[in-house]
Amino acid sequence: MSLSKQSLKSKPITKVTFLVPAESGKGAEKVAVVGEFNSWDVNATPLKKQKDGSFKATVELSTGKEYQFRYLIDGTNWINDSEADKYVSSGVSFEENSVVVL
């Protein structure tokens, strides 16, 4: 997994690209990034499958904030981003959520 960030100079927005590599999404039909920025809606931010088998999406988020998120693979398997800025307790289970800090 990986996160890349690009801050816009003209406004307080950061473009965050979420990437699930082919190895992590092996055999997956669909992958979504689900988090605070989309009200934890599993259908709001699907990642597009790339030619190399990876999944990718770019989201514009407000700079100066932190957002919790996780990836949902094929509607059943939740995974974290191995390159997240940090991790916090989900508050729902014993699992943690990934966090992107902008």
Calculated CA dihedral for residues 80, 85, 88, 93, nearest 10 degrees: 0
CA–CA distance, 60 with 55 (Å, rounded to integer) = 17
Query: What is the value of pTM for the model shown?
Result: 0.93
Residue 102 pLDDT class (50, 70, 90 cuts): very high
Q: Could you read off the pLDDT of 16-55 as tens digits, one per residue? A: 999 999 988 778 999 999 999 999 999 999 999 999 999 9
Name the DSSP class of 37.
Answer: G
How many CB atoms sit inside 10 A of residue 30's CB?
14
pLDDT at 27: 85
pLDDT at 87: 97
Whether residue 37 contacts residue 69, with contact meaning beta carbons closer than 8 Å, is answered with: yes
Q: Could you read off the pLDDT of 46-81 as tens digits, one per residue? A: 999 999 999 999 999 999 999 999 999 999 999 999
pLDDT at 35: 97
CATH 1.10.3720.10 is right for the domain spanning 2-101: no
